[in-house]
Structure 1
Amino acid sequence: MPQTADDLDAVAVRTWCSLALDALGREREAIDAINVYPVADGDTGTNLYLTAESAAAAVEAVFAAHETGTSAPSTADAVRAMAHGALIGARGNSGTILAQLLRGMAGVLAESAGPDRLGLALTRAAASAREAVAHPVEGTVLTVATAAAEAAGRTGAGAGAGAVARAAYEGARTALEATPGQLAVLGRAGVVDAGGRGLVAVLGALVEAVSGRAPERLAPGPTAPAAPAPLAAAGGDCPAADDPEGGPAFEVIYLLEAGDEAVERLRARLDALGDSLVVVGGDGLWNVHVHVDDAGAAVEAGVEAGRPYRIRITHFAADRLHARPEPAQRAVVVVVPGDGLGGLCAQAGATTVLARPGEPPASGELVDAIRRAHAREVVLLPNDADLRHTAAAAAEQARTEGIRVALIPTRAAVQGIAALAVHEADRSFDEDVVAMTAAAGATRYAELAVAERQSWTMAGICQAGDILGLIDGDVAVIGQDVAETARGVLDRMLAAGGELVTLVLGEDVPDALAATLEEHVREGYLAVDTVVYRGGHQCAPLLIGVE
């Protein structure tokens, strides 16, 4: 429930994130429908929702960590979590700009306790968002953010958080209504800026969070633009030049670990390579978004600047510029713990969602993947027992959109691999799901991990640095050597029989380990085959499956 105190503490931040997520969820389709600048690709509302969902999840994680303690998290903890969650989950230019707005606010709210801090936070947010965009254009979300900050500043010293938030909201609404007169493509379509409308929804949630009183909502708006501009390239929420025709061939997005000086050089290089450049973040972690003709050069620039990861490259193919392809009959969506497995599953025709260590995908990310699969029937493989509720929520949401979704409760990546191996799109949906479920259920799974601290386990007491062999989620073997522990795990699993062993190696694990384990299986277990895959950067040191 929204709090009624006129303040912005940790509880209010939590409430704000929840209300903002609800507001963007209600308005997602309406915002997508008016997304015409610079192209009508209809994803601004979705991008904003996914970014807010990541921010809200990060704040919930902070509160969950304090549940066993005697005190609630501080405001600084909450706002920093909100900003970090938005940064790592930002989608599209609308999402990256929202992440920078939240980061700008967090920088003030975490450091200041004065009565004017909310107004100062909104001012910092608007300024930092403009700095993040290579070529700011008026009539976009940047204009709306600036108007909100200016209106908040006019409330005067000593105004309460509720009064400041309401002034910002009203200023943003007024600026939003003026955007069609500032940007020609909006005027021709007869719509307001989509990103700006999303920001108004977020500010409305802020008003309710700090005052307990929800402001009047915006009118629903049109279900489609009156006169959409010609479709030219994806990323229609980007505040770039007012040129709806032409454009680069690729959208490149990645997270980047790098220092400030390296990022400044990266900005200059990417600005020369393409357009729609937005770089947000700080303190060594950045979210980079750019449209280019040479995607390899954009990624290479990131490698030279630091360590890019979660790289996403979208090709704006010519057939997407004029007509949406007919949906496929069936697709498979798979959650994978590493980019190596992502490539393997993609080669098998699956749509993949990468699960980062400590950052499981949110339901909105799974729904987005189901939509990207563009099929009438979808089989969803979460590959993690902790994702069962998230995956169920995503499946239910997709079903409301007319997509037939079957959720197979795979608990590990090797079970997903087994299910995908028997997938046949030519047979009936029910038969395919039954076969995939049976294959997953017949696969026992294990993984090797390194103990972070001394603790009790089902196999005894482990010390920090010990190698743990987990079978079906429980510690079964404790050792000091990776190969020795892996052999112990295999012996326990194969004691119950098996025909195929699947080994998935983490990025830093040498090929020699696979050779050692293959030899161990070959010498000790006749007629048992072994297959080996590389899991990639995010993967555990070793995953094992036995069918």
Structure 2
Amino acid sequence: MTEIPVTHGTQGVPDDAPAHDAARPGPLEILDAAALRRWLFRAREDLGRHRAAVDALNVFPVPDGDTGTNLHLTLHAGLRAFLDALLVKAHEGEGAPGVVEGTALLARATLFAARGNSGVILSQLLAGLAAAVASSPGVDDSGIDGPLLAAVLEEADRRARRAVAHPVEGTILTVARASAEAASSAVAAGTTSLADVVATACDAARAALARTPGQLEALARAGVVDAGGAGFVVVLEALRAVVAGSPDGTDDADTALLPWSEGTGAPCTPEEVAPAYEVMYLLDGLADRAAERLRSRLGEIGDSVLVAGDAALRTVHVHTDEPGLAVEAGMDAGRPYAVRITSLREATPSRVSDDDTARPEVGDGDGRRSGGDVSLRCASPSRPSAGGGSASSDRGEYGSAPTKTGPAGPTSPPLLLDGDVPASSAAREPAAHVSDVPAPRALGVVACVQAPHLEPLVRAHGAVVLADAPGRRVTPSQFVEAARRTGAGRVAVLPDDGDAVLAASAAAEIAAEDGIDLVVVPAAHLVQGLAALAVADLDDPDSVAGMAEAAAAVRCGFVATATSSGETDAGPCRPGDVLGVVEDTVTTVGSDARAVAVDLVHGLLRGDDASGEIPAEIVTIVEGQGRVGLGAEVADDLGGVLDEAEIVVLDGGQAVYDLLIGVE
């Protein structure tokens, strides 16, 4: 390999790092290391240009979609880390990494930086790219031609799907598979040209994207295509542009985004009753064939099956009515540890953590709470007593604790990426917003918090806080770094939405390499996470079981203002209408947020019980940005009806959601 020239200015970026290379002729016959870099930098640029459009492909008529942002920031941060490695090699006098080493570095960096479900899946697709080229002898010299690219797409498809027993069609997985199958069919029919194989894959991906509304009811009702699939098409179209020799800044990728529409944002009602339990555990030393057998066996007794990782460490997840059989399957495969069994009946996680709430208590004598100094509490009967080290009774003065140094993932001084704007740009990956660190205990807690005004409350109860919100999702590397900062060998992670759950699960595998047992408590809402924190005993690592039980006892919903028109389960809505949402379903459409919130609470109390409402012990209302006072009005309306319930009103300051409401 030849040495790469180095610029000795403040940025020190190698001359071949920028993607802007309009003078390069095309079409290309092979993808060498430099061409691969140009493709990925181009993809990052195109994802940035189309970020808002992809974000808008949302099945809810509220502005919380962030798929485009997550994909862009994932690739952006991964490329920054890759450039860091490139610069180190250059300054040490080494040559630029070849195809094999470069793709391996990028895949690893992207996993650390992955944001949201779409970002994690993108990292797995890049892992497939790395694996495919690693198994091709001589690829550093010969580059990637048409047949090898087809193999790359096939391996990327396998990697993205391998962990999931029952992939959902109509998503990014469907679009990725269509591109892989089309490329392989073209090669089998005699096509060898790189440009032709890429074009075939792109066209197939675009066609598959257009079909996604016919595969998912939520997309059809909202009138949109799948956002993750759209982002994948943007990435493939960037490859087509590089192979064709198109200069940067052209609109080649724009045609890939058709057919897109504004979308109405109405949700789809789940058609099936969820299984009763979630089972999760870890397995070491499980070969690929054994993992496939375990995945198949778990698929026979449940759904949402996940057997992720590699032969060194596997993360296992299943929803089932037979938790004992799920654990037994793991025992037949190896020695499962960090076993967690969680009831799903009381609180099924929703599509997004936007129905998040908190549960403080403040004594003002009338059963209602508002403002003031607060501490967490939980209505669960399993809550430890005050003398048993509950979260609200054993907090001390916390200062900055010694932390294990060394980055969880690649971090560096600001660099300019290929034609990028300076480090102050919003396109840069935001730094993790991590709270003051508590003194080390036997059990550490890392909590995602979507409502910024509640961060001091969570921090006061011993947790390291990570700010999380649509468009600013927590990455696996941020989870790992926060876990290290707790100083504990076992760390409970409290996500606040589905995206955070997936990122935390990826972080658990990374943390295991440092000897940290990172336990993901299945709390897909902020209110569930705070219920779990209320029963945490930081001196007892095994208290995570009680934390999971407390989280499952909470039902959550949110009130938000529609920003687009659409059909919902509660009837049509227009911009400006107020929506009440529970578990992926719009339950109420109205013009008065106060009335919608009251109706939402009664719906949460009824749940699936048609015979009447279940008595509530605690109702928590978290007011959003600009909505201070609304929660107190709702509490007044509820006070005369819910005589036995304690009603808590908090200023959360969260964007998008007027009110976050939780009932336990």
Question: Is the aligned partner of 1:188 residue 2:221?
Answer: yes
The structure-2 alpha-carbon separation of the partners of 1:157 and 1:77, relative to structure 1 and needing over 3 Å to count, comes to same
Q: In the alignment, is the contact (CA less than 8 A) between 1:23 and 1:201 conserved in 2?
A: yes
Alignment match of 1:72 (pick from 77, 84, 96): 96
Alignment partners' CA distance in 1, 2:449 and 2:276: 21
Aligned length, in residue pairs? 377
Deviation at 1:115, TM superposition (A): 2.5
- Distance in 1 (CA, whole Å) between partners of 2:88 and 2:157 is 31
1:373 and 1:276 map into 2 onto residues whose CA distance is: 25
Equivalent in 297, 304, 311 of residue 276 of structure 1:
304
Residue 168 of structure 1 aligns to a residue in which SS?
helix
Q: Tell me the amino acid that sits aligned with residue 108 of structure 2.
A: H
* Distance apart, 1:366 and its partner CA: 3.1
What SS is found at the alignment partner of 2:432? Answer: helix
Aligned equivalent of 2:207: 174
- Quote the Cα distance in structure 2 between the aligned partners of 1:46 and 1:251: 30
Shift of 1:229: 0.7
Alignment-derived partner of residue 34 in structure 1: 57
Q: Which residue of 2 aligns with 1:229?
A: 268
Deviation per residue, 1:509-532 (Å, 9 max, x gap): xxxxxxxxxxxxxxxxxxxxxxx9
Distance in 1 between residues matched to 2:108 and 2:448, nearest whole Å: 26
Alpha-carbon deviation of 1:175?
A: 1.6
Tell me, yes or no, if the aligned pair for 2:54 and 2:230 is still in contact at 8 Å.
Answer: yes
**Distance in 1 between residues matched to 2:395 and 2:48, nearest whole Å:** 33
Residue of structure 2 in register with 1:525 after alignment: none
Change in CA separation of 1:169 and 1:261 when aligned onto 2, cut-off 3 Å: closer
Question: Cα distance, 1:17 vs. partner?
Answer: 3.8
Cα separation, partners in 2 of 1:48 and 1:226, compared to 1, 3 Å:
same
Shift of the 286–81 alpha-carbon distance from structure 1 to 2, 3 Å rule, reads: farther
One of 148, 166, 169 as aligned partner of 1:135: 166
Q: Would the aligned equivalents of 2:191 and 2:197 in 1 still touch at CA under 8 Å? A: no
Q: Does 1:375 align with 2:392?
A: no
User: Is contact 2:57-2:227 (8 Å) kept?
Assistant: yes
How far 1:172 moved relative to its partner? 0.9
For residues 306 and 261 of structure 1, the distance between their equivalents in structure 2, rounded to whole angstroms, comes to 16
1:98-177 map, 5 Å:
98-110=122-134, 111=136, 112=139, 113=142, 115-116=145-146, 117-153=148-184, 154=186, 157-160=191-194, 162-177=195-210
TM-score by length of 1: 0.51
Letter in 2 for 1:246: V
Q: 1:267 maps to what in 2? A: 295
Contact 1:34 1:225 in 2 (8 A): no
Q: Which protein has greater RCO, CA pairs closer than 8 Å, 6+ apart? A: 2
Amino acid at match of 1:2: A
Give the distance between the partners of 1:88 and 1:50, measured in 2 at CA: 12
Give, in whole Å, the separation in 1 of the partners of 2:262 and 2:46: 17
Please give the secondary structure, in 2, of the residue aligned with 1:179. Answer: helix
Partner of 2:32: 9
* Mapping for residues 21-420 of structure 1, pairs under 5 Å: 21-25=44-48, 27=50, 30-34=53-57, 36=59, 44-45=67-68, 48=71, 52=75, 55-56=78-79, 59-67=82-90, 68-87=92-111, 94-110=118-134, 111=136, 112=139, 113=142, 115-116=145-146, 117-153=148-184, 154=186, 157-160=191-194, 162-210=195-243, 211=245, 212-213=247-248, 215-217=252-254, 218=257, 221=260, 225-230=264-269, 244-248=271-275, 257=284, 258-272=286-300, 274-282=302-310, 284-286=312-314, 290-291=318-319, 305=334, 318=347, 321=350, 324-325=354-355, 358-360=407-409, 363=429, 366=432, 372-377=448-453
2: distance between equivalents of 1:170 and 1:151? 9
Cα distance change of structure 1 residues 142 and 150 upon mapping to structure 2, 3 Å threshold: same
Counterparts of 2:64 and 2:346, CA distance in 1 = 13
Secondary structure of the 2:267 match is coil
Instruction: Please state how far the C-alpha of 1:357 moved relative to its aligned partner.
Output: 5.7
Q: Normalization by structure 2: what TM-score?
A: 0.44
CA distance in 2, matches of 1:297, 1:27: 46
Which digits, 9 at most, give the CA deviation of each residue in 1:396-426, with x for residues without a partner? x98998xxxxxxxx99988999xxxxxxxxx
The one-letter amino acid paired with 2:89 is H
Separation of aligned partners in 1, 2:346 and 2:434: 19
Pairwise CA distance, 1:73: 0.8
Unaligned runs of 5+ in 1: 233-243, 332-342, 381-390, 402-409, 418-505, 509-531, 537-547
Structure 2: tracts of 5 or more residues without a match = 1-17, 359-370, 375-389, 412-428, 436-445, 457-464, 473-480, 489-514, 518-537, 543-664
Give the counterpart letter for 1:190 in structure 2: G
User: Which one-letter code corresponds to 2:145 in the other structure?
Assistant: P
**What is the alpha-carbon root mean square deviation over aligned residues?**
5.6
Higher alpha-carbon deviation: 182-191 or 66-75: 182-191
Structure 1 pair 326–205 and aligned structure 2 pair: CA distance change class (3 A): same
Structure 1's 249 and 151: CA in aligned 2 closer, same or farther, altered over 3 A? Answer: same
Residue pair 2:113, 2:409 contacting (<8 A) in 1 also: no
Cα deviation digits, residues 52-104 of structure 1 (max 9, x gap): 45643553354244122231111100112233344566566544543443233
Cα distance change on mapping 1:302 and 1:41 into 2, 3 Å: farther
Structure-1 separation of matches of 2:49 and 2:430 = 13
Q: Report the secondary structure of 1:66's partner residue.
A: helix
Cα 1:259–1:325, aligned 2, differ >3 Å: closer, same or farther? same
Residues 291, 319 of structure 1: alpha-carbon distance in 2 compared, 3 angstrom cutoff: closer
Quickly say closer, same or farther: Cα 1:256–1:105, change in 2 above 3 A. farther
Partner Cα distance (2:84, 2:19) in 1: 19
Cα distance in 1 for partners of 2:72, 2:279 equals: 20
C-alpha distance in structure 2 between counterparts of 1:248 and 1:365, whole Å: 38
Q: Residue 409 of structure 2 aligns to a residue in which SS?
A: coil
For residue 216 of structure 1, give the secondary structure of its aligned residue in structure 2.
helix
Question: Secondary structure, in 3 states, of the residue corresponding to 1:277?
Answer: strand
| Contact 2:65–2:470 (8 Å) recurs in 1 | no
Cα gap change, 1:191 to 1:321, in 2 (>3 Å): same
- Deviation of 1:196 (Å): 1.4
Say if 1:399 and 1:143 are closer, same or farther in 2 by CA, change over 3 A. Answer: closer
Change (3 A) 1:415 1:292: closer
In 1: Cα distance, 2:431 partner to 2:322 partner: 27
Cα deviation digits, residues 205-254 of structure 1 (max 9, x gap): 33345445552322695565443213x5xxxxxxxxxxx55324777788
Q: Distance in 2 between matches of 1:66 and 1:319?
A: 49
Deviation at 1:177, TM superposition (A): 0.8
- Deviation of 1:173 (Å): 1.2
The answer to whether the 8 A contact 2:109-2:410 is kept is: no
Verify the 8 A CA contact 1:507 1:534 in the aligned structure 2: no
Check 1:20–1:300 CA distance in 2 against 1; reply closer, same or farther (3 A cut). Answer: farther
Could you tell me how far 1:168 is from its partner in structure 2?
A: 2.2
What amino acid does structure 2 have at the position aligned with 1:199? F
Counterparts of 2:64 and 2:294, CA distance in 1 = 27
